[in-house]
Amino acid sequence: MQRLQCVYYVLLGVWFIASFPVVAQYFSCSKTESLNQLFSAERGSFNTCLPRKLGDWKKVLFEIGETLYERIELLGSVTQDHNPAVLDRPFLSSANRKAATLIKDWLLEAGFCNVSLDWVGNVAGWYEGNSCHTKTLILGSHYDTVKDAGKYDGTYGILVSIGVVEALYKLQVTLPFDIQIVAFENEEGNNDFGLVHTGSTFYVAGSIAKRNGARIQCYRMLKSQLDTKSAVHSNQSFADYILEKIAISEQHSPIDRKMLINYFCRHYPLAVDKEVLGYWEWHIEQGPVLDISRKEWGLVSSICGQQRWSFDVRGKAGHAGTVPMFVRQDSVAACVEMIQQVEEITRSAVRDSNGTVHLVATVGNISISPGSSNVIPNLCSFTMDIRCESDVIGESVRIRITQKIKEIAKRRKIKVDYRQLHRTKTVEMNSNWMEVIKYGAYLSNQFYLNADWIKWLKQKLWKANSIDNHIPVLVSGAGHDAAILHQLYNVNMAFIRCREGLSHHPKEYASKEDMLAGAITLFFSLLALANTTKE
């Protein structure tokens, strides 16, 4: 009954939007301008892009949530693992090829044209606007998974975008901009090369080459990934792996490394030719903030900068029963002390900021060699992941940790080698588009919270001082494809609540109601954007 009531409010809200000129100036304004300045009553109205007949709105908008649930369940059953209960879709696996085919089919059902799959597994489609000179908004997320994953990470962002555009298509809504949805491969790094964000990196590289003619920059972006060697098969490069997978897929005639590079640097088919408004990514939070605060929805202000490092601590092997403790060069004992410093130094930095800075450090992988119970280990390797909303503070902590690790190694007379695996800078969301999404989010909240919709209309609560007070704003500690696309475009993100903040786990869960709330907010955010965009 509550859901039916919610959709009833949606219907009334649409009627309101079609009847009242809630509008916005084109976003050439500065970041300091208020929402009242952005949403002035001086140009356009929503009824320029809405159909005259509104009888089917209730049914179509309600169906978004049901369709989302069904498709997430179906994609959640596509796994590479022999156990169907374990979700695992590694980069360019047969499971991911099957998932990509499903996504292509759903894009076509939603009215997209030019649906295609590139050579690293990215899937994209275009939904055309009402002008041949139109701009483009990019929506999307990733569809690969970690090992033993949940169903919602990445997948929700793709499927909610498809669902909302499918609703626009069914209702014959045309917008003054195109929409491209991209489903990215290998955001998670589930591969033997330690590489992440491959799909979005290759997408950006190809787009830079096609839009700006910057082929050298494109080549440099690709080369760093293509030359990476496998941690399992040291004689295999990432380029070899991709070429092998392309051959297995039987979708292309045999190609070599040069053809692969030319494909992205000269002829990349997924690149957007027209002006790009930005990239929006809807996602589950992957943390507990929204769940604890009992909010179904939140906006993202920034994505934390991230560093990943590997450390190899080399001691001296020996007999576990005969080598005295005071002469041992035990690599594991040294690693234990080093890992303790990772935690202590990070905690100290958080205390120094009085808890105002989001900063975390994690040792997530440890390996021991030779790994025998009666042998003193001569090699212990571990990884360190540092994430911080301030690049300066994050780097300062990394330097302090590295210095302490060197001191421990010197005192224990062992050797330590370390190298950087990955680094991204902190990414700030576009503040102007945040105001558009805040407006859509506020409308969505009213569908759930305000029983007297007509009274709410008359009070004109779309003004700035009403909107900002209701939308949680979060820092994302997780990395996202949006951080890669930020190299080329303005980016924005929004989160929905996930139960107990659990993610990268089989019990990861988002409710139908919260998924629908995110969908409805995206729907109205697109309509709001339609009235801020000059053709």
pLDDT tens, 68-107? 999 999 999 999 999 999 999 999 999 999 999 999 999 9
Q: What is the pTM of this model?
A: 0.81
CATH class of the domain comprising 2-303+427-530: alpha beta
C-beta atoms surrounding 283 within 10 Å? 27
| Strand 375-376 to 318-319 pairing | antiparallel
The pLDDT score that the predictor gives to residue 68 is 95
C-beta atoms surrounding 403 within 10 Å? 12
Instruction: Work out the average pLDDT over 284-291.
Output: 95
pLDDT confidence bin for 250, thresholds 50/70/90: low
pLDDT confidence bin for 246, thresholds 50/70/90: confident
pLDDT digits (tens, 9 = 90+) for 404-420: 999 999 999 999 999 99
Instruction: Work out the average pLDDT over 386-391.
Output: 96
Contacts of 153 by beta carbon, 8 Å cutoff, 6+ apart: 145, 146, 283, 284, 286, 503, 504, 508
pLDDT confidence bin for 501, thresholds 50/70/90: very high
Q: Is the pLDDT of residue 401 over 90?
A: yes
Q: Is the preceding omega at residue 377 within 30 degrees of 0, hence cis?
A: no
The pLDDT score that the predictor gives to residue 496 is 95
| Strand 276-284 to 375-376 pairing | unpaired
Q: Is the pLDDT of residue 10 over 90?
A: no
Q: Is the preceding omega at residue 84 within 30 degrees of 0, hence cis?
A: no
Instruction: Work out the average pLDDT over 420-445.
Output: 85
CATH number, span 305-424 = 3.30.70.360
Instruction: Work out the average pLDDT over 443-462.
Output: 50
Mean pLDDT of the chain: 84
Tokens 């908004």, located at residue: 137
Tokens of 305: 């900068």
C-beta atoms surrounding 16 within 10 Å? 17
Tokens 């991209």, located at residue: 182
C-beta atoms surrounding 228 within 10 Å? 19
Instruction: Work out the average pLDDT over 133-139.
Output: 90
CB 498 within 8 A of CB 510: yes
The pLDDT score that the predictor gives to residue 206 is 93
pLDDT confidence bin for 210, thresholds 50/70/90: confident
Between CA 494 and CA 73 the distance in angstroms is: 22
Tokens of 481: 């494809």
pLDDT confidence bin for 505, thresholds 50/70/90: very high
Q: Where are the domains of the chain?
A: 2-303+427-530, 305-424
